Amino acid sequence: RFATLTRQPDDPLLRIIGQHAADPRTNKIDLGVGVFRDEEGRTPVMTAVKAAEARLLTEQPSKSYLGPEGDIGFVRALATLVLGDAVAAERVVGLQTPGGTGALRLAAELLARSGVERIWIGSPSWANHAPLFRQAGVEPAMIPCFDLNTQSFDLDGFLTGLGEAGAGDAVLLHGCCHNPIGIDPDAAGWHAIASRVAERGLLPVVDLAYQGLGDGFDVDAQGARTILAAVPEALLAYSCDKNFGLYRERTGALFAVTPDRDSGATVFSNLLALARANWSMPPDHGAAIVRIILEDESLTAEWREELETMRQRLESLRAALAAGGRIGTIDLAAVAHGKGMFATLPLSPTQVEWLRDRHAIYMAGSGRINIAGFNMAAVQTFHEALRDMVAK
């Protein structure tokens, strides 16, 4: 049977981790995989997370099974934080998932089960989005809507693309800090998208994986809230893996907005059935940490402060990068339009390879850079490498 299989490529982003680690050059720069780093290039465990873990170690009464819904205290605390008062509580159901990816997978399977055949996705998008939906039986339809030269989101192009969507299709929206471009709609853009989505009877799936790393914690949720408030039915896939620095703990949740409490109960029962058939129950540790933090005022304050420091670091690195101005045909100043961890520069795969071979600068083949991979000195090195590149 296995002879019928064909060899699959590995994830090029994850491959960069190994390539960078194996490079002996001391001035190497890793702008590859999207994890936050500090000025020294470390991805530390947040102090509020360490404190919550210490409490778990001494106080956790049991590790007995919870259930397919996971830690309901975590789900509740997160719902308040993320949704604010955008949607009446009785219209929202939610459950814990293995990371944002688990939430997306469950969303995709729920769509497939509801008879949704197609999901519209602005492109480029996170490399896992299209395969994830396709594997669950929902065909991705891409709408090219970013201009790398001007670092802008083409709202009209996206809305026109959605004009092709049929009632009953789904649409994927990045809640904030778009991966891989870093450009989000502005408030007016979100309202225009919400109107179009509602008008055409589309089911929005909002992927919110970077709340707090863009403009600030509440502002970063505004797009998601605008969308959810405008429609009878929606899904929100949430990841705590970046904003709590929990990555490998696989911490996330899926929320469904439903027309009323009764339909919510049906949706929830379907989500539980799908979760059971996938992973039975989600891993507990990360969610327990987040719950402890969110249920404790002083830990919440400590976490929010640390997250804000991370956000400001990204903001100042982005400004430093943009200060490089125009280098050849690359307008770095335009990178200032974006926010969050990522920007995608208009570089060819050959140029990406050249920067790696010649200057030990590692980034995705698409030209995507993880801004947290810089420190202030590395930004200067990067500017010089680009000048070297365009001069040759």
Q: Is 13 in the site for ligand TYF (CB under 6 A)?
A: yes
Burial state string for 309-329 with b = 16 or more CB within 10 A and e = fewer than 16 = ebbebbbebbebbbebeebee
Q: Is 241 in the site for ligand PLP (CB under 6 A)?
A: yes
How many residues touch ligand TYF (CB under 6 A)? Answer: 8
Q: Please, which of residues 167-226 interact with ligand PLP by CB under 6 A?
A: 174, 179, 207, 209
Residue at token pair 């055949």: 117
Annotated active-site residue 63? The verdict is: no
Q: Identify which range of 11-19, 49-57, 164-172, 279-287 contacts ligand TYF by CB under 6 A.
A: 11-19
> With respect to ligand TYF, which residue has the nearer C-beta, 33 or 159?
33
Catalytic residue among 30, 120, 184, 242: 242
Annotated active-site residue 303? The verdict is: no
Q: Is 128 in the site for ligand TYF (CB under 6 A)?
A: yes
Q: Please, which of residues 167-186 interact with ligand TYF by CB under 6 A?
A: 179
Annotated active-site residue 207? The verdict is: yes
How many residues touch ligand PLP (CB under 6 A)? Answer: 12
> With respect to ligand PLP, which residue has the nearer C-beta, 287 or 360?
287
Q: Is 161 in the site for ligand PLP (CB under 6 A)?
A: no
Q: Is 282 in the site for ligand PLP (CB under 6 A)?
A: no
Amino acid at the residue 375 = N
Q: Please, which of residues 120-159 interact with ligand PLP by CB under 6 A?
A: 126
- Least distance (Å) between residue 261 CB and ligand TYF: 34
| Sole binder of ligand TYF in the list 11, 38, 39, 384 (CB under 6 A) | 11
Q: Which of the choices ligand PLP, ligand TYF, none does residue 252 contact, using the CB cut-off of 5 to 8 A by kind? A: ligand PLP
> With respect to ligand TYF, which residue has the nearer C-beta, 13 or 289?
13
Q: Is 338 in the site for ligand PLP (CB under 6 A)?
A: no
Catalytic residue among 207, 220, 284, 331: 207
How would you write the chain as a 3-class SS string?
CHHHCCCCCCCHHHHHHHHHHHCCCCCCEECCCCCCCCCCCCCCCCHHHHHHHHHHHHHCCCCCCCCCCCCHHHHHHHHHHHHCCCCCHHHEEEEEEEHHHHHHHHHHHHHHHCCCCEEEEEECCCCCHHHHHHHCCCEEEEEECEECCCCEECHHHHHHHHCCCCCCCEEEEECCCCCCCCCCCCHHHHHHHHHHHHHCCCEEEEEECCCCCCCCCCHHHHHHHHHHHHCCCEEEEEECCCCCCCHHHCEEEEEEECCCHHHHHHHHHHHHHHHHHHCCCCCCHHHHHHHHHHCCHHHHHHHHHHHHHHHHHHHHHHHHHHCCCEECCEEHHHHHHCCCCEEECCCCHHHHHHHHHHHCEECCCCCEEEHHHCCHHHHHHHHHHHHHHHHC
- Least distance (Å) between residue 332 CB and ligand PLP: 23
Q: Is 238 in the site for ligand TYF (CB under 6 A)?
A: no
| Sole binder of ligand TYF in the list 36, 74, 126, 244 (CB under 6 A) | 126
Amino acid at the residue 139 = E
Residues in contact with ligand PLP by CB under 6 A are 34, 99-101, 126, 174, 179, 207, 209, 239, 241, 252
- Residues in the site for ligand TYF, rule: CB under 6 A? 11, 13-14, 33-34, 126, 128, 179
Which residues form the catalytic set? 126, 207, 242
